[in-house]
Amino acid sequence: MTFKDFDFHNDLEKGIRIAGFKEPSPIQKEAIPIILRGDDLVAQAHTGTGKTAAFGLPIIDRIAKGEIERALIITPTRELATQVSDELYHLGRFAGIRTLAVYGGVGYGRQIALIHKGVQIVVATPGRLKDLYQKGKIDVFNPEVVVLDEADEMLDMGFLDDVREIFDYIPQNRQTLLFSATMPEPIKELADTLLYNPEFVSVVGDDTTKNVDIEQLYYVIDESQRDDAIVRLLEREDFDKALIFCRMKREVDRLTEYLNALGYPVAGLHGDIEQIDRDAIVKSYRRGETRVLIATDVAARGLDIKNVTHVFNYHIPFDPQSYVHRIGRTGRAGKSGIAITLVSTEEFRELQRIRKEVGANMQLSTIDIEGSYDKNELKIVAEKIKETEIDSDIDTILSEMSDMEQGEFIKKALSYIIKREKIGSSSTIGYNEDELEDMISDYEREQKRNKSSKRKKRR
């Protein structure tokens, strides 16, 4: 099957050719005919499966052929709104399609003016869109097609009430399309409320949920090894673009500063960063000017960046679904990817729970350390020196070295530190399989002793 089989408008076909689309993806094959018929649709598909084109192409085609005039796409995040708007503009530009991304954090004026001028496709976040409708600023915009994109993400971010309120302002005589990676009960209830006799399509099978195109590795490390591990992995892995996940904003800031100090051109992304800076960071990453992005789960929601070859979990995520969402940023569109998780000995039990719940095929690995240091490893030593507090006995050492020139003393002192670092370090980072088994056995024996002790106390 090819895109010609859909009998799209000639100007849209030109946009498809220039975009390099060859054969429709599974979600496109299933969804496009339903949308072209004008029926409501509930579609289950992950980000990266071509779902934007799955709803975008038939919408553009119907506008180009004069069947409808306007469409609204509601997305959970500003980044996704911009991304979807850009993709639809490039696909429909030869058909004269005008798109607009509407989101908070910027002024109202330009967004309202462009809507009043007659843009055909508005891609908006729930908060700003609800605000504009409530204030009567966009009464002229009455879409005939409405898309809820990544509905489960909107649920996670607490936007479902906003979405329901938005639909109070939208004409009842409309086509409604709902796309979601998962189908929790609140999303099913939302579909029952807002859609009329919808068709159901799913391209999420066992292979998709288990991320078969992603090689999944994990390293069981001591907490003190975490920074060394991420540096050595960045040095060793051959990546195009890498995404590093941290749990908290302060971890993103600290790791970004640390890696930049070592000479790695990385950028951090989290919710406290100003919108104009967020846009610049994402644009630089998308273009490949910044190859490593460090982000929280919330900040990375809705990001669909091409050619992310590696995902690093600097810390294990809080829940199994977050793990699936994180590693799903790589291995997209038939390409392979690598997901690497750093887990401390204390966190290992949590990793086992995630592996069991998501059915992940994760392989234990270790990082070999060569005998000599490279430049980045020496920078790590320099950072450790900078962070070291001055010892109270240092004056005694200095008095003993008073006959040495300052430069010679500094070189000898640093050489001594580097040698001590080598002697004190292991030849690998991470526990191997035998060491891990011993650690688990020790843990289980300790647990049994604790239980036995508690029973004796109760008696």
Q: How far apart are the first and last CA of the chain?
A: 74
Q: Which pLDDT tens digit goes with each residue over 127-162? A: 999 999 999 999 889 999 999 998 988 887 889 999
Structure tokens at 351: 């990793």
User: What is the C-alpha separation between 174 and 445, in angstroms, rounded?
Assistant: 63
Strands (E), 182-330: 199-202, 214-221, 241-245, 266-269, 292-295, 308-313
User: What is the C-alpha separation between 147 and 133, in angstroms, rounded?
Assistant: 17
**CA 210 to each of CA 327, 394, 403: distance values in angstroms, whole numbers, following the listed order:** 10, 56, 66
Per-residue pLDDT at 437: 78
Task: State which CATH number among 1.10.645.10, 3.40.50.300, 3.40.800.20, 3.40.30.10 fits the domain covering 208-369+428-447.
Answer: 3.40.50.300
Region 3-204: CATH code: 3.40.50.300
Evaluate if pTM is beyond 0.85: no
What averages of pLDDT result for each successive group of 10 residues across the chain (459 residues)?
Answer: 92 90 89 96 82 95 96 90 90 94 89 93 95 92 94 87 94 94 89 94 61 82 89 89 91 93 89 84 89 85 79 86 81 80 85 76 80 61 76 78 77 70 59 79 65 61
Per-residue pLDDT at 208: 42
Structure tokens at 3: 């895109």
Give yes or no for a contact between 30 and 43, defined as CB atoms under 8 angstroms apart.
yes
User: What is the C-alpha separation between 433 and 439, in angstroms, rounded?
Assistant: 10
Identify residue 303 by its one-letter amino acid code. L
Residue (of 70, 8, 361) closest to 214 by Cα position: 361
Burial group, residue 238, by CB count within 10 angstroms (0-12, 13-18, 19+): exposed
Per-residue pLDDT at 207: 42
**CA 126 to each of CA 45, 144, 245, 402: distance values in angstroms, whole numbers, following the listed order:** 21, 18, 26, 69
Q: Which pLDDT tens digit goes with each residue over 87-125? A: 999 999 999 999 999 998 888 899 999 999 989 999 999
Per-residue pLDDT at 424: 42
DSSP string, 350-406: HHHHHHHHHT--EEE--EE--SS--HHHHHHHHHHHHHPPPPTTHHHHHHHTTTS-H
Q: Any bridge partners for residue 200, and if so which?
A: 42
Residues of the chain with CATH 3.40.50.300: 3-204, 208-369+428-447
